Amino acid sequence: MIEKTYLKTKPECKVKFSLPAELVDNAKQVALVGDFNDWDAAANPMRKQKSGVFASTINLPKDSEFQFRYVLDGETWLNDDQADDYVVSPVSHDQNSVIRL
């Protein structure tokens, strides 16, 4: 799930990324990776909520587009069903999720 909140005081959008418990399949760690953090799994670890949902909120520049994915336990890669688009990954045969702000 993706929630976008455009800030009135800055040219940014506050974006909340979340994965429901049923999609993480008992993963212990979930990371948000993408163009915005150089695909670094340590840069945006997602926090597990009491409901079992993993979530992370980051501010991204408005009028931008980013590719991203989720990494579960350092090995399983997932896309977001609510992404604005999907594109072929430049490093594999997989597709990356795309968010447009």
DSSP string, the chain: -EEEEE-SSSSEEEEEEEE-HHHHTT-S-EEEEEGGGTT-TTTSBPEEPTTS-EEEEEEEESS-EEEEEEEETTTEEE--TT-SEEEE-SSSSSEEEEEE-
Q: How large a percentage of the chain has pLDDT more than 70?
A: 100
Mean pLDDT of 2-20: 96
Q: Which domain does 10 fall in, by range?
A: 2-100
pLDDT higher than 90, residue 26: no
Mean pLDDT of 5-32: 94
Tell me the pTM: 0.94
Domain count for the chain, please give it.
1
What pLDDT shows up at residue 46?
97
Count of C-beta atoms within a 10 Å radius of residue 44: 19
Residue 41 confidence class, pLDDT cut points 50, 70, 90:
very high
Residue type (1 letter), 98: V
pLDDT higher than 90, residue 58: yes
What pLDDT shows up at residue 2?
97
